[in-house]
Structure 1
Amino acid sequence: MLWDQEYHAKGDLAFKIKMLAKPDLFTKGDLDFCFFNRYIDAIECASIVGFKMYNSLDEFNKALQALPEDSHPDAVAEVPIKTILKEQKKLKFLFRVIMLNENVRGLSLKEKVDNAFRNDSNPDLQEKNEELFNKFVRLGIDVLYERVVDAGNAEDCLDIMCEYLIN
């Protein structure tokens, strides 16, 4: 299950998570602040951002196809099990909200409810649901990273993110 083990990100995903949560690695303009305090915070926010932006089959597939080639194959970001367990309720909540509302797979309401609450004991379905959730995280991290990179300074970054998240 996704929320009872360490979380490992590799490649560009890991690099971008680190850029969002570790200000000493980011050297553009005066962005000397930490947008997220922890990797898990970036992941949680990204799940909603990715879901909000790409919750239709066409948008979702176009976004996945548009992801750039992995330019940081050696990058690794890990969230320890202790942090995952501490955040487990929030992570499950986000997972369930997304499973109940996703429109990518064209599921019925019953199937969405089953995915959110009942398919924990079905490893194949659970794996597909976790894969979808992780794709929303990946797409959301990409959006968040691009917004931070496009900002000229810390204030611009916060303005961009507030505007994006509110609209």
Structure 2
Amino acid sequence: MNYIIEKSNNGLFENEIELRGIYAKRLKELKEDIGLFNTIREGYVLSILIGCLNSTTINDTDEFKDRQVSIFANDLNSRKKDLKFIYRIIMLAQEIPGMSVEDYMNRTFRDDTDPNRREQLKANMNIINEYAIKGIELLYNKFSNCHDKQILCDQLYEFVNSFAIDIGEKKEEQLIDFHPDFD
């Protein structure tokens, strides 16, 4: 099942994006039930970044194939500069054997600006959307049971610190005790 589709092919982040099935359901739950982010767009963007930075396996299912949520083009357009920046970093960072520097330059900077390269742009957006799906899966697995602000805060703290340790930014012994008061 194609879980993320773009409603047209107008260019980079100029189309309505529709999330379908289990990932639409999960993203909506993370927004509305958990409060992990304020908008579906925020969830989509965070999921792209988290999916890119983590390797997770997708559990393919169409159990909730009738569910869908959309991010309208004008909502994406309000963050287009940030989205393009993320897109360009991912296109440069994703290593593909046999690609030349020119291929990377085309994929990163030309596919979205040249109307004759719409098919390449579509393939690139499939990569972005695969990362979004992986990120949604990871976020859902980590935060779906956080129905209390204290638990959510603790899980976020653990998530961020685990990432800092993984990338070598912090050592385990450098972590501080964190006990926010929500009363």
Q: Same fold (TM over 0.5)?
A: yes
**2:157 counterpart (143, 159, 163):** 159
* CA gap 1:8/1:164 in 2 versus in 1, 3 angstroms: farther
User: For 1:10 and 1:37, how far apart are their aligned partners in 2?
Assistant: 19
For the residue of structure 1 that corresponds to 2:61, the secondary structure is: coil
User: For 2:143 and 2:52, how far apart are their aligned partners in 1?
Assistant: 19
Deviations 1:114-138, CA, capped at 9 Å, x for gaps: 1110112201211111111111111
* Gap runs ≥5 in structure 2: 1-10, 167-183
1:112 aligns with 2:104: yes
Residue identity over aligned pairs, in percent, reads 21
Match of 2:143 in 1: 148
Match of 2:16 in 1: 6
Under a length normalisation based on structure 1, what TM-score does the superposition of the two structures give?
Answer: 0.80
* Gap runs ≥5 in structure 1: 24-32
For the residue of structure 1 that corresponds to 2:144, the secondary structure is: helix
> 1:2 deviation in Å?
4.0
User: For 1:128 and 1:15, how far apart are their aligned partners in 2?
Assistant: 25
- How many residues end up aligned between the 2 structures? 148
Contact kept, 8 Å, 1:11 with 1:76, in 2: the verdict is yes
Match of 1:48 in 2: 49
Structure label with greater radius of gyration: 2
* CA gap 1:145/1:19 in 2 versus in 1, 3 angstroms: same
Contact kept, 8 Å, 1:4 with 1:85, in 2: the verdict is yes
Contact kept, 8 Å, 1:46 with 1:137, in 2: the verdict is yes
1:15 aligns with 2:25: yes
Give the RMSD, CA atoms, in angstroms. Answer: 1.9
Letter aligned with residue 67 of structure 2: A
Deviations 1:63-112, CA, capped at 9 Å, x for gaps: 2xx42312211111111222111011111111111000012x32333322
Deviations 1:32-78, CA, capped at 9 Å, x for gaps: x5110111111111111111113xxxx7xxx2xx4231221111111
User: For 2:69 and 2:162, how far apart are their aligned partners in 1?
Assistant: 25
Higher relative contact order (CA 8 A, sep 6+): 1
Match of 1:125 in 2: 120
User: For 1:127 and 1:16, how far apart are their aligned partners in 2?
Assistant: 24
Contact kept, 8 Å, 1:51 with 1:98, in 2: the verdict is yes
**1:98 counterpart (90, 93, 96):** 90
Contact kept, 8 Å, 2:30 with 2:144, in 1: the verdict is no
* CA gap 1:124/1:81 in 2 versus in 1, 3 angstroms: closer
User: For 2:59 and 2:158, how far apart are their aligned partners in 1?
Assistant: 21
**1:68 counterpart (48, 60, 65):** 60
For the residue of structure 2 that corresponds to 1:8, the secondary structure is: strand
For the residue of structure 2 that corresponds to 1:97, the secondary structure is: helix
> 1:149 deviation in Å?
2.5
Under a length normalisation based on structure 2, what TM-score does the superposition of the two structures give?
Answer: 0.73
Match of 1:135 in 2: 130
